[in-house]
Structures are given as structure tokens and as C-alpha cells.
Amino acid sequence: MQASARLERDPAGAARIALEILAGEPGNVAAALLLGTAQRRCGDPAAASAAIAALAAAQPQSAVIQLELGRALRTQGHAAQALAAFERAVQLEPDLAQAWRALSDLYGAAGDEARCDAAFARFEKLVSPDAQLLQAGAALANGRLDGAESLLRRRLASAPEDIDALRLIAQIAATREEYAQAEQLLQQCLRLAPGCARARLDLARLYLSQQKVAPMLPLLERVLRYDAANVPARALQASALTLLGDNERALSILSQLIKESPHDERAWLHCGDALRALGRTEEAIGAYRHSIDLRAGCAEAWFSLANLKTFRFTPAEIETMRVQLARADLSDTERLQLEFALGKALEDAGDFAAAFTHYASGNALRRAQLPYDPSKVTTLVRRSKALYTREFFAQRAGWGCEARDPIFIVGLPRSGSTLIEQILASHSQVEGTRELPDVPAFAIELGSRSEGAAEPHYPDSVAQLTRAQLGSLGERYLEQTRPHRRLGRPHFVDKMPYNFAHLGLIHLMLPNARIIDARRAPLACCFANFRQHFQQGSWFTYSLEDLGHYYRDYVELLGHFDAVLPGRIHRVHYEALVADLEGEVRRLLDYCGLPFEAQCLRFHETQRVVQTVSSEQVRRPLYTEGIDQWRRFEPWLGELKAALGDLAR
């Protein structure tokens, strides 16, 4: 017992005790096994293998001895012999969890994915959850991120290769939208345990959060090869296909899930999302309501109904939401989803004071979860202005990829950008895609080129790019976005609003791309964001003060580019578009080098997948209600006006 207790922290001491026992009792099997294990941990696998092989010959029916023999052989690099020992161990004792884990690792190293995944799944079924991990998981589920992280860090201090602890730490990073850290942790999980399907699914979810479809699909295909009925993998596959615009196939997968599990509210929820993107709004409403029928507390279904901007809740539904919101067992995420949904319902009912209270509560909950620092945006604007001068661009004239395919729409969310995209996508030469993540990913990549710098290396790192590198970056952008161009039209729209922060990079790598600034009046735009909960990103939208500062930074940076690249950016004011649709559309198409087509004025008739929160609004003729919507809430917008300063006027 003393030797076993010392094995982890002092294997040499454990070996000494085992030798003392064997000196007095040479046939003691437990002591001999402990000695071999201690020798392996002391870095002498040859001695360990010899000792345990002799023990295995004497005790051929011991699964534990076979397990330790396999470990010693593997440490020596004898993979085939180790594999045989582990397989013998599970034959002798099918419930020996650690032998299945070792088998999974060896199968993975040999490239046998099916056996690797099957062995790890068997291991997971056999091990009992650790109490500390259960406690951390409960804290994470309840939104107590700091508490969960503290527990997990303590766990990793004693067990640095604990897969479940690493996965939970990655989930915390993903919740904070620290995607690079989360990806690094999950990749580490898969290096340590290549058969871990849960880590593979977590990584696929992480890529989904960033709308990176290409790396998602191979992960899901591997999971489904071993476990074709895996519901989370199939739902994620449907989400990936939706992002690629293949909604019919996505809907087919989800319909099959519903047939198999008609009482699973998540399947109905995903189905509603796919139907909504396809423009089948009434069917989407039916799917969301069915989720609620199955579980009245399905907060995401209530939120999804509210996100159908043209939908109106019944008085009975409003009362049900109130009842659900009063529950004490809601997670922070469920609570804020209900707050935003109820705020929308009460706004539609004309109770603006109560609506604002719920919007403010939902925003406060989300803001408390986020480590957002508005000064970082201000710093990025300052450094961008210092770098991107007239002279800087003049020295690089003619650089980059000459392709004219992309049309970038930048600005803030809720500024009319989806409407502009729908107008352009109604043109025979333009394809609408979605908010593509590629340019922000390039910026992150460029920002990581300087380790230990006092300030982020980007955007200054752009100055180090050669003519060839900028051209290559432009070509890479076109190649990465090609899967989204399903219609093969000459031009396509990238509607990622936050690309306004990367206009210098866009101009240098794609000098012939068109750039459109979707601009909406400050108070209207900022409050529209405040009343909208975004599933990820948009950290600045959860505080009126943050919104005001962000809008000011955005206007300042766009004004700078207007000065150093006059005429390069075409601005479309939402209010002007509503007032003079045809005139604004003609000017927009002229800027894009496209002939006028009357179908662009009938944008609401265009059938295409729309994945933003404005999907229902752009399927209606132009309307004016949204322009002064913020005025209903003006009594509560003092903080926003103060942050906007002169822009508020």
C-alpha cells in the first residue's frame, strides 16, 4: 500500500519499497508488478518489460499484468507487441477501461480510425465521472465561468492530460469567444486522445461559431463513420450545410432526426432555423412552437420566434414567457434569451417601458459574461489611421490580386446591410453569400506574427507584406470563399460588417473589389443593436455606452479612408434608401459597374437563403417603420446619447 501510494509522486521510492518486499517474499505478485511499473516510470522500460513479461508468463490470466506489460512495451517503441498485450487484457477483462484507452491511442497512431474511435467510446462508457469535473461542469452550465475555470485549473495542475478538464476549459474559452485558445485546447485533446468523439464535436461546434465550414465537415464525417446515428453530429452537419447554402439537404437531415426523435425539442429547433433561412416562415414558426409545446422552457425557441421580426406573440404566449422567466433554475443563457424575447413581445404590444426593462436586463446578463474592452477598438482605429496614409497606399499602387469578384458590405449590424445584399443578389451578375469570416481570420493570422509585443502586431504587420504576399492573400480569399458561390455568377457579396476594421488590408489584397459602407442614423442603429441578442460576436452591443463609443470609432475610421482613398468606398444611407429606392439602387449599381436591372427594385421577390436576423424583413417590400423606432425608447437613451456626443445630434 505504501509503494502504491508513492508510485505517482515518487516512483523511485516505490521501487525501493517493492524491492524490500520481494527480498523477504520473492513470489509476491503485487510487489513484482509494482516494481515493473515503478521501473517504467523511472525511465527504464527495458527492465520493466523484462520483469513484467516474466510475471505475465507466470500469471497468464491477469488482465492488469497484460495492461502494464503493454505500457512498458509501448514506452520501448514496440507498438505491435504492446497492441497484442492490450488486446489480451480486454479479452481477459472486457471492462478494463484503461486498456481500452491505450488501445484507442495505438489504433489512432496506426491510422485505424474506426477501431480508435470505437475503443475510446468503450473507455468513456466504463469510466465514472470525476466529482471535481462534475462540479466544474455544473458551474459552467450555470454561467459561473470563473468558478468553473478555477476548479479545472486545479484539476489540470495534478492531471495535465485530463481530456475532460481540457474540454471544459475549451468550452469556457469558447463561451468567452476566445476562439484561438479554445481551438488550441481541443486540438490538444485530440492529440492526447485521437478517438475522443466529444472533443471532435466540440471542435466542430467551435468552427460553427466562427462560421468556418471547411474544417467542420471532415470532423463530422469521421464521427458519423463510426456512429452513423449520432444526433449532435447530424445536427451539426445540417448546420454546416445551411452555412454552405445547401438548405434542402440540411432540412432532409433534420426531418429524419425528427422522425427518429419526435419528442426532441432541439431537432425541431434546428429544423425551424433551416426553414427560416429558406424563407418558409410559417413552417419555421410551426417548428419553433412545436419545440415550446414539447418543453415550455425552451428559451432558444422563444428567442427564435422573437428573431422573426415580423412575428407577433399572443397574450397567452407572453404570459407563458413571464412564467418561465420567473423560474429560479434558469441558466444565464436561457434567462437572457427569454429577456430579449419578452422585450420584443412587449414592444410590439406597445408597453415600451417594460420592453426596455427586459432589453436592459438581457443585455446586462450578456455583458457580465464578456471581457470586452472598448479601448481596444479605439486603439485599433488610432493605429490604422497612423499606418494607412495616402503615401502608404501610393507606394503599393497596383499590388494585390486584380480580381473584381468580391463586393464587400461593411458597417454595423442592423444598419441595412442585409437589405443592400438582397438588392445586389437580385441582380443577374451577383450572388449573395453571407457574413464570411475569412478577412477577420487573415487579420488574426497577421496579428500573431509578433510574439510578446506590447501591442497587437496587426495592423502594422500589413506593412511588412510584399507585393507577392498581398497578391497571394487575395487569391487565397477567393479560393476559401469559392464553396459559398453556388450559382457561379461573376460577383459575390461578403456581408461581414466588421470588415470595416480591415479596409486597408482589403484594399491592398483586392484593389478592384467594391466596398460599400451601410450607414444608418446613429441612435436608430445603436438602439436596434441593443434590442438584438447576437448568438456570438458583437460584444459591443450589450451596453449603450459601449455602442456609442463603437459607433464613433467606426465613423472616425471610415472618415479617414474617405480622406486617404477618396471615392474608394460607396456609402448607402439606410434612410436615403428608404426615401428614394430607385435612385439609390441606380447609384449603387453604377458604383459596382453593373447595368441597372429592375429586379433589384423587387428585391423582396428574390428567392435565396438569408441567414441573418433580417431574413424576414428583406422578403417584404420596403417599409419605413424602422426608421424612427428608437424614438419610442428615447426617455431611456441618455447614456447612449452621451457616448455618441455630437453624433447623437
> What would the pLDDT profile of 259-302 be if each residue is shown by its tens digit?
998 998 988 998 888 888 777 889 999 999 999 999 999 999 99
In contact, 632 and 528? CB cutoff 8 Å: no
CB 246 within 8 A of CB 238: no
Torsion 313-316-321-322 (CA) sign:
positive
Q: Which residues of 494-520 are buried (b: 16+ CB within 10 A; e: fewer)?
A: bbbbbbbbbbbbbbbbbbebbbbbbbb
Q: Which three cell numbers stand for residue 501?
A: 476594421
- State the pTM of this model: 0.75
- What is the spatial distance between Cα 367 and Cα 143, in angstroms, rounded to a whole number? 12
Integer Cα distance of 648 and 640 in angstroms? 8
CA distance 486 to 241: 12
The low-confidence residues of the chain, meaning pLDDT below 70, are: 3, 5-9, 36, 142-143, 448-456, 536, 607-626
Q: How far apart are CA 430 and CA 394, in angstroms?
A: 30
Query: Could you give the number of structural domains in the chain?
Result: 1
Does residue 578 fall inside a structural domain?
A: yes
Please give the Cα distance from 111 to 592 (Å, whole number): 50
Residue 123 placed within a domain: no
Bridge partners of 406, per DSSP, are 492
Strands 514-519 and 569-573: parallel
3 near 19, Cβ under 8 Å?
A: no
Q: For residue 188, which of 213, 162, 211 has the smallest C-alpha distance?
A: 162
Cell of 648: 447623437
Distance CA(371)–CA(364), nearest Å, equals 13
Considering the domain boundaries, does residue 595 fall inside one?
yes
* Within a domain: 485: yes
Written as nine digits, the cell of 526 is: 445603436
| Length of the chain in terms of residues written | 649
Smallest CA-to-CA distance from 372 within 179, 540, 494 is with 540
- Residue 38 CA neighbour count, 13 Å, CB half: 23
Q: What is the pLDDT of residue 618?
A: 47
CA distance 235 to 416: 31
What pLDDT digit, counting tens, does each position of 485-536 carry? 988 899 999 999 999 999 999 999 999 999 999 999 999 999 999 999 887 6
Q: Is residue 536 part of a domain?
A: yes
Look at residue 623 in the predicted model and tell me its pLDDT. Answer: 60
Residue 164 maps to a domain:
no
Residue 201, φ and ψ in degrees, nearest 5: -70, -40
For residue 491, give the DSSP letter: E
3-class secondary-structure state, position 11: helix
230 within domain boundaries: no
Q: Indicate which CATH number applies to the domain containing 536.
A: 3.40.50.300
Which of 418, 416, 421, 426 has its CA nearest to residue 605? 426
Per the listing, cell 506574427 goes with 449
Task: Give the Cβ contact number of residue 610 at 10 Å.
Answer: 22
Q: What's phi and psi for 519, nearest 5 deg?
A: -115, 135
Per residue, the 3-state secondary structure of 148-185, as one string, reads HHHHHHHHHHHCCCCHHHHHHHHHHHHHCCCHHHHHHH
Q: 557 lies in which domain range? A: 397-449+458-604
Per the CB < 8 A criterion, the answer to whether 237 and 224 are in contact is yes
- In the block, residue with C-alpha cell 450578456: 366
Class of residue 621 by CB neighbours under 10 A (exposed 0-12, middle 13-18, buried 19+): exposed
Strands of the sheet containing 514-519, edge to edge, are 430-434, 491-494, 406-411, 514-519, 569-573
N-to-C CA span, the chain: 78
Let me know if residue 36 belongs to a domain. Answer: no
Predicted pLDDT at 622: 65
